[in-house]
Amino acid sequence: MEELAQKAIEESNGKTFYGVGNSSRGTTALPLFIEYLQSIDPSYTMEYEWQQPKNNKIFDQLTSDSLKDTGTFAMTLIQDGNQIESKMVQTGILDTFIPKEWAEANGTTAEEYEGYLPLQTLNKVFMYNNTGSKTFDNCWDFVGQDAHGLFMDIDSELVGKNFLYMLTEDTYAGWLKEAFDALSAEEQAYFQPTIDEMASEAENLGLGENGKYALAWIKLWVGSYNAQTDDGPICNTLVDQSATDQFGLLVYSKLRSVEESATVSKNNITVAAYNDGYTGIGGFGYCHYLFVTDNSPLPWTACAFIAYMTCTADGFSAWGKDIGGYSSNPAVAEENEEIYHHQTGGMAEDGTTVEFAALNDHGYDWWTTDGKLVLEDPEYCASVAFTVGSWIEMLDKYTVN
């Protein structure tokens, strides 16, 4: 990393660094990176500009920039494994750089590691308003009769579509089968006709033995969810005491920004997977990946910045303060956990200290085991995007309002 820093100083001193990402926090991380380089060479200076395209335009922007001999963007932080694989990696627009220290922290070498470089895993989790008497103790409850979850429309944010793709993978389809088996006979009777109807579809799509359970859940979810444009408004709805018994699947970290008031509280929210006896998938995990553009104007600086974000707690700090965001570097994750996570306290309007159980993040290891987080696999998503993806497109409707 020190050698990369020296290369970056030589390459970019006095220049301007352009980055593009799905997260705006590159703007927060870049000044810290510059301070790190200035700790090595106090005379170092670098201007920077970070763009965050909306509405999935990042792929068009990177594709257009790739047509130049030397591009504008030095690197990118990008999500949606399916499109990354098909539009960015297979086309040679983006290159993967694996920092030596990151690989070693993960028990491998940069040469042996296969896959993209994730900055972090983010999770979207099932949450519900607990001001009523209704509870959700099984993931099939979210597609039950009269269930209409709040969810970012799958055409607005395509990682949501990747979540549905991943449910058809054998491991996760098996989790849905196990959760179905845990339902009462009466509950099973409601879902069984849809599952039976999906048996031939699953066979036609080449899915495994539990594929019909995945397709049934997907069909019921797509046909019932209440489409929203962003996770922020979903969160704001669910934490209000007027949202009795409503639920959603949304980015966990949105809870941190909720301000307590007479009618709004993080205590009005329950994370479903944290309930004792909850059965089935607790949510969806996807990554922010880091790449160097193939025609990067400042490749050494891009690599040094990527190493800084993935190999130091300071570099990850722009993202690390949030619940529901987990560094891909175990050493950084552990240090970050000590600094930020499990900060569940808060102050009520009367000045008394309260605890918000929903903020007590159980951590990446828990979510990927007991929490049954469905993890995005870019290659699997790309492999079923045409088959399962086309099937989803042909469903009668995406949402009901």
The region, left, alpha or beta by phi > 0 then psi within -120 to 50, assigned to residue 146 is left
CA–CA distance, 325 with 340 (Å, rounded to integer)? 11
- Environment class of 112 (CB within 10 Å of its CB; exposed 0-12, middle 13-18, buried 19+): exposed
Q: What string of pLDDT tens digits covers the 401 residues of the chain?
A: 999 999 999 999 999 999 999 988 999 999 999 999 999 999 999 999 999 988 779 999 999 999 999 999 999 999 999 899 989 999 999 999 999 999 999 999 999 999 999 999 999 999 999 999 998 999 999 999 999 999 998 887 888 999 999 999 999 999 999 999 999 999 999 999 999 999 999 999 999 999 999 999 999 999 999 999 889 999 999 999 999 999 999 999 999 889 999 999 999 999 999 999 999 999 999 999 999 999 999 999 999 999 999 999 999 999 988 889 999 999 999 888 776 655 555 544 555 555 889 998 998 999 999 999 999 999 999 999 999 999 999 885 444 43
- Environment class of 165 (CB within 10 Å of its CB; exposed 0-12, middle 13-18, buried 19+): buried
- Environment class of 259 (CB within 10 Å of its CB; exposed 0-12, middle 13-18, buried 19+): exposed
**Six-digit token pair at 337?**
């956990």
Residue 242: other Cβ atoms inside 10 A: 11
CA–CA distance, 141 with 148 (Å, rounded to integer)? 10
Beta strand 117-129 pairing with 269-271: antiparallel
Q: Is the pTM of this model over 0.85?
A: yes
CA–CA distance, 112 with 318 (Å, rounded to integer)? 29
Q: At what angle do helices 211-222 and 170-181 cross, to 10 degrees?
A: 80
Which residues on adjacent β-strands are paired with residue 17?
48
CA–CA distance, 313 with 305 (Å, rounded to integer)? 13
